[in-house]
Amino acid sequence: MVVAMTAHDEYCDFCDLPMAHCVHGRPPAPEPAVKSPPKPRKRAVARPRAAGTAAKPVNRRWTPPEVLEPLILAVLREAGGELEADELFLELEIVVEDRLLPGDRESTPEGEPRWQYAARRARVALISEGLMTKGIPGVWKLAKTP
């Protein structure tokens, strides 16, 4: 590539090229623009419901653990206060069979049916409330009541 030069072109003292082609004669690159941080979003303020207004119904895909808590207690009372986990699940399935939602029979990522997972979570809640005890692993047991 041949570049035509004119008499008024200036040459670089460092590389003997015309200033228009020289890296030394080019202006420095502009500094990148600094973006300001995003402004915080305003959260919507929850408005109180008018008296007499019903809450929206919740469509659940599976049964929450709170629903299973009294049923677990009833199954344990009927069995004398203690059952192995497998036996409890068999008895509990008979009790809740007609109440299970379609999603309750789906598997969790661990491969357990969702209703059994909910029952295990209900057990943890019952233990924290003092209605059940942690005893022998694999055995569900009611707490002794005075």
Q: Which residue has 């379609």 as its token pair?
A: 102
Decide if 132 is inside a domain: yes
Cβ 119 vs Cβ 66: under 8 Å: no
H helical segments located in 1-146:
65-78, 85-96, 114-129
pLDDT at 133 over 80: yes
pLDDT at 146 over 60: no
Decide if 59 is inside a domain: no
Q: Average model confidence (pLDDT) for the chain?
A: 81
Decide if 24 is inside a domain: no
Decide if 17 is inside a domain: no
Q: pLDDT confidence of 84, banded at 50, 70, 90?
A: very high
Structure tokens, 14: 């460092």
Decide if 49 is inside a domain: no
Q: Rounded to whole angstroms, how far apart are CA atoms 83 and 92?
A: 11
pLDDT at 141 over 90: yes
Span 89-100, mean pLDDT? 89
Q: pLDDT confidence of 54, banded at 50, 70, 90?
A: low
Collapse the DSSP code of 14 into the 3-class scheme (helix H, G, I; strand E, B; otherwise coil) and give the result: coil
pLDDT on residue 51: 65
Number of structural domains the chain divides into: 1
pLDDT at 9 over 80: no
Give the H/E segment covering residue 84: strand 82-84
Q: Rounded to whole angstroms, how far apart are CA atoms 53 and 63?
A: 25
Q: pLDDT confidence of 20, banded at 50, 70, 90?
A: confident
Decide if 54 is inside a domain: no
Q: Rounded to whole angstroms, how far apart are CA atoms 86 and 109?
A: 20
pLDDT on residue 118: 92
92: domain CATH number?
1.10.10
Q: Rounded to whole angstroms, how far apart are CA atoms 8 and 140?
A: 97
Query: Domain containing 129: what range?
Result: 65-142
* pTM attached to this predicted model: 0.59
